[in-house]
Amino acid sequence: MARDDGSVVVRRRLYLSVYNWIVFLGWVQVLCRVILALLDNGHEAVYAAIERPLQFAQTAAIMEILHSIVGLVRSPVSATLPQISGRLFITWGILWSFPETHSHILVTPLIMSWSIAEVIRYSFFGMKESFGFTPSWLLWLRYSSFVICFPVGIVSEVGVTYIAFPFMKASEKYCLRMPNQWNFSFDYYYASALLMALYFPGSISMQLYFI
């Protein structure tokens, strides 16, 4: 029985190590591409340079919700789900859905804050699962970088969503108007506004919870 329990722990740590290092490499690619695009062509070129690796790295975080559900990690689903969902909304529901936002200057601090925070976070957990410890400097970065990354990230997320509002309203993308066979209407513009109204204070409270 003890041997079986030990093999489960080894498989769990092996899986989480591989997962964390793969996503870490995805975010490293995003960070490097942001810097190079910014230096070579300015902020207007940032999104085009990072779109695919950003979508991969951010979408891979869906697995963290499953990790919480099945108990692979200690993070509660109640905290993981809204955090990941909010990031996915920005990645797919705003940036991918409304290309008009791509050249805005707020995209650069958004992606920079995300990528710096995630490179630190995934390397932290990668080291922890792979070797059973983390260097003191990485531990310090893990719990100190939020002082800059979090406010920059949250302001940029809300700002980019606000920038997309006129394009949402004009295009009526993802809207469902009545009459229809389901007798139901949905307005993506108002749904996004409500989500942002809830997301901003919710993100602050979640961050305070993890400090």
Q: pLDDT tens track of the chain, all 211 residues?
A: 445 567 888 899 999 999 999 999 999 999 999 999 999 999 999 999 999 999 999 999 999 999 999 999 988 888 888 889 999 999 999 999 999 999 999 999 999 999 999 999 999 999 999 999 999 999 999 989 988 999 999 999 999 999 999 999 999 999 988 888 888 899 999 999 998 888 766 665 555 444 4
Q: Report the length, in residues, of the chain.
A: 211
Distances (CA, A) of 126 to 29, 130, 134: 17, 6, 9
Q: How many helices (H) and strands (E) does the chain have?
A: 8, 0
Determine the Cα–Cα distance for residues 132 and 172; give it in Å rounded to an integer. 50
Which letter does DSSP use for residue 90 in this model? I
pLDDT of residue 76: 87
* 95 to 85, 91, 114, 167, 207: CA distances (angstroms): 14, 5, 14, 12, 24
Query: Rounded to 5 degrees, what angle do the CA atoms 10, 70, 23 make?
Result: 65
**What pLDDT is stored for residue 210 in this prediction?**
42
